[in-house]
Chain A
């Protein structure tokens, strides 16, 4: 198992000398740029060529914290003691939950799902709090989509809906969606039309040829106006303006352009998936995209956030059959978002033990969920100290994936990409910690497989 995680590791730089790691992968956002050239000196990254501001900060500001690898009840402890205690917490719980995963490589995610299976636990990822609604919309209507290279080579109409890549995915425009010269778009940006639909004038809006500012929480109405127009249905201009905050003529012009393009792409973000309507919004957008294929080629793509949230969806799905929010209490996987998703199992006071992996629910979750988490024994894995690690019964400080450790991550278009670690860490990887815990869990409950 650990072989794949370390295979791309290259010899550490010797003191004082410079070492260059070519085509390293940045995991800071869903773009998962795999073209970063890192210069390493004395086990520190001093240059990250081609990385954006966020990527540079990720690589350059990154430091190994002077913090014990393991803390039990806030006191430094040996890793062995931590693994033992962690396994006991998980095995003794009646309703153990495992949550996070989106900033871990697939190799570690797989072990986390195994542990959930052995302990009849619930496994959930941060998808449930970001793009879960699009996952459910996808289960309703399907999706017409493509890999990002198709956008580069064919996308002549690029739309962003409720997504602000200029701030959330800084290289999105230059690397994938607007600027590149593609096979069928030799002039790059000049050959593409960019449309941005949002409730406010975001930083990204500057890049748009057409900016459509809709009323807050009117995404659903806007998408339905477009769906109706695509089918040639007459709409009442007064009502459209009232419902969407945008003139009917603007929607008509947009639909006209959408039908006239050769290969349209709609990227959507949490501005769509996490506002009123949630999965109905995503469903309307996916349905619109599907409708458009009666006239031309059109695809949709969620702009996923965390580095490997897409990998988490994939790993949980191939192992259990469901993408997130999976409960094993009956000895087999069951899926029910809203019931087995972590914010719910915590807020409802059901979970009685848990493990968080590279996530910070103590900072992000609702007050009742946080209060309940603080009241139960849980294990936290993170690269740094957070509110969640502080309240954990066992906290492991782990090495950073993509910097210290290798493995596989999935880009937001489901393309798997290997990591090239560049530095060494005194801390174990999350894969190592999880593997050690799994070994003990299996021994405690008598699993021989």
Chain B
């Protein structure tokens, strides 16, 4: 039997994980994976893709977006006006039709990601009770690999285990919950705050030390407890944290305290942009950037990673597992508002929003995001995200790349913003420009490493053959928005801007080892309070069509 090779020949390769920074290299692919070049020089590939003069990178990885599951679908149902205005996705002989707007339909989501050279994406906030729904949508989100993080920062069992000081029970519960939902990582959203929202008018916690009533635990305990459990379970990705007080002036101190609370454990702070604000207590007139002290803390603490949550000017939809935040935003913007509380687990808030460059607050948010990219020294620990669709669409990534690689371009945008932005942020003084290699880190190699995905984000032997080929261009937005060729699992899905072939893509999930003796206690609790039966809760394997269990790491 002969081996069928595909060869990508003569491309300029950026593979930072393997120390390759813009060198001409050939890549060989067999059965969807990258392999060593054949030792026998007479071997000829079945298929050759000529990449000479082109830039070759691993496929992009979005480690924080909202693309599937209950709240994403509610946003679709709630906003037909957004879809009518948006691009219409026409059916072809290989692809389904769809709609865009700020919350694209499932097929459109898959096609747009792959069309932009992204081959993997993680939904960041799935309530366990909605896990089955997320998996169903994943099967209809083609062309990319995907997974999700499981909301647990307001889970009653988590809080009860902490209240009773039972870390082993907490660890078992998290293992069980990830295995039952076929999820990927533990996610905290406004830990403790959502539970207070469920039981009080406009309820929330004000900071890390306020006790959540009934459970008598603090956000600090939840953060530390789950961070420790995630490490002890040796999960590939650390606890993924949406801090308390998102969006509030002065919230940077909460964020700094959260970072400090993670000392001794891994932790990922998500959409850091929304959590880096100075200013008086809820006083928008004193609103300013506090990225500098936070980035300095991150720079000196290798246990921490962040993604940015960049804001782009324009209309979008805010969607969050942070119920009280949704209430706050709906009052600020005055538009329609959805709030959905999920029993025992989580909350959800959705409202349309618009970021304006003439608004001081919005322009500062935009500048603060860019400051994060430019002030974190180690690109391996800062990841590109818009918190799609919260800060803007994932389709803005090429524009963000241009802003990072071209300081004149970003200074020109800064000039159109509210004039006080220059005083209240240091963006105007930052001259750093990203290299292509650094872009390859923050959009693929870095997130793969942070997520513990050994087969992704690089082009060495054994890696998934998820590869994007770009035509170099002076304007980096143009270069990155329309890749020449996109290869997923060794198959050419996109060529010359058109989808040639589709595949379903894998669901990435974990199957942690946990103390099964703890299950009886979980079941007793579950049967007392849930509205569905214990046996009908876990998502069975039939919902995973193509899937891969990502192994635990050897040490955190």
Contacts and interface: CB of A to CB of B under 8 A. Distances in A.
Interface of A: 1, 3-4, 6-8, 22-23, 25, 34-35, 106, 110, 114, 117-118, 120, 135, 138-150, 152-154, 175-176, 182-184, 262-263, 290, 293-297, 299, 313-315, 317-323, 328, 330-333, 335, 408, 410-411, 414-418, 446-449
Given A321-B104, A449-B93, A152 B99 contact: no
A448 B96 CA distance: 11
Given A321-B99, A335-B80, A263 B199 contact: yes
Nearest to B127: A147
Contact of A296 (B108, B201, B330): B201
Give the 4 A-B CB pairs with smallest separation, nearest first.
A149-B343, A7-B542, A321-B99, A449-B94
Nearest to B344: A149
A25 B536 CA distance: 9
A332 B97 contact: yes
Nearest to A180: B531
Contact of B199 (A135, A148, A262, A328): A262
Contact of A7 (B101, B132, B341, B540): B540
A311 B350 CA distance: 20
Given A7-B542, A139-B78, A333-B97, A318 B105 contact: yes
Interface in B510-556: 529-533, 535-536, 540-543, 545
A147 B95 CA distance: 35
Interface in B48-105: 68, 70, 72-74, 76-81, 83-84, 88-99, 101, 103-105
A330 B101 CA distance: 18
Interface of B: 68, 70, 72-74, 76-81, 83-84, 88-99, 101, 103-108, 129-130, 132-133, 136-137, 140, 156, 198-202, 214, 327, 330, 335-344, 350-351, 501-502, 529-533, 535-536, 540-543, 545
A449 B97 CA distance: 12
Contact of A322 (B80, B89, B132, B540): B80
Contacts of B501: 449
Contact of A138 (B72, B73, B78, B133): B78
A35 B533 contact: yes
Given A330-B88, A414-B70, 17 more contacts: A34-B532, A139-B80, A144-B338, A146-B342, A147-B531, A149-B531, A150-B341, A175-B531, A182-B529, A262-B199, A321-B98, A321-B103, A332-B90, A333-B99, A410-B133, A418-B132, A449-B95
Nearest to A176: B531
**Considering residues B79, B338, B542, which has the most beta carbons from chain A within 10 angstroms of its beta carbon?**
B542
Contact of B97 (A135, A315, A331, A410): A331
B342 to A, nearest CB: 5
A150 B338 contact: no
Given A183-B529, A408-B136, A144 B339 contact: yes
A118 B88 CA distance: 16
B interface secondary structure, majority? mixed
A140 to B, nearest CB: 7
B139 to A, nearest CB: 8
8 contacts: A142-B336, A154-B198, A318-B105, A319-B140, A321-B104, A321-B108, A333-B99, A447-B94
A142 B96 contact: no
A118 B338 CA distance: 33
A3 B201 contact: no
Contacts of A417: 532, 536
Contacts of A4: 542-543
**Considering residues A3, A120, A142, A315, which has the most beta carbons from chain B within 10 angstroms of its beta carbon?**
A142
Contacts of A150: 198, 341-343
A7 B543 CA distance: 9
Nearest to B69: A318
Given A139-B79, A150-B342, A320 B530 contact: no
Contact of B89 (A8, A148, A296, A332): A332
Contacts of A414: 70, 74, 130, 133, 340
B88 A332 contact: yes
Contacts of A22: 535
Contacts of A322: 76-77, 80, 83, 99
A446 B92 CA distance: 10
B337 A144 contact: yes
B119 to A, nearest CB: 18
Contact of A313 (B72, B77, B92, B342): B77
A106 B337 contact: no
Contact of A449 (B83, B84, B92): B92
Contacts of B104: 321
A147 B342 contact: yes
Given A299-B341, A323-B77, A117 B531 contact: no
B132 A416 contact: yes
Contact of A317 (B76, B92, B95): B76
B532 to A, nearest CB: 5
A411 B132 CA distance: 13
B502 A449 contact: yes
Given A34-B533, A297-B199, A318-B105, A141 B99 contact: no
A139 B344 CA distance: 27
Nearest to B538: A418
Contacts of B502: 449
Contacts of A331: 90-91, 97
Contacts of A416: 130, 132-133, 136
B344 A135 contact: no
A224 to B, nearest CB: 19
A313 B77 CA distance: 8
A148 to B, nearest CB: 4
A448 B73 CA distance: 28
A447 B93 contact: yes
A335 B98 CA distance: 12
B434 to A, nearest CB: 35
A98 to B, nearest CB: 15
A319 B327 CA distance: 28
Given A415-B532, A416-B132, A320 B99 contact: yes
Contacts of A335: 80, 83-84
A446 B93 contact: yes
Nearest to B91: A331
A176 B530 CA distance: 10
Given A118-B91, A448-B93, A449-B93, A317 B201 contact: no
Contacts of B107: 319
A117 B509 CA distance: 31
A408 B132 contact: yes
Contacts of A296: 201
B199 A154 contact: yes
A277 to B, nearest CB: 19
Contacts of B132: 408, 416, 418
Nearest to A314: B73
B337 A142 contact: yes
A141 B531 CA distance: 28
A297 B103 CA distance: 28
Nearest to A146: B341
Nearest to A328: B97
A133 B193 CA distance: 34
A302 B341 CA distance: 15
A149 to B, nearest CB: 3
A418 B540 contact: yes
A153 B342 CA distance: 11
A146 B96 contact: no
Contacts of A447: 93-94
A387 B345 CA distance: 46
Given A317-B76, A414-B70, A418-B132, A149 B90 contact: no
Contact of A290 (B77, B198, B214, B337): B337
B204 to A, nearest CB: 13
A284 to B, nearest CB: 14
Contacts of B103: 321
B129 A415 contact: yes
A53 B198 CA distance: 34
A322 to B, nearest CB: 6
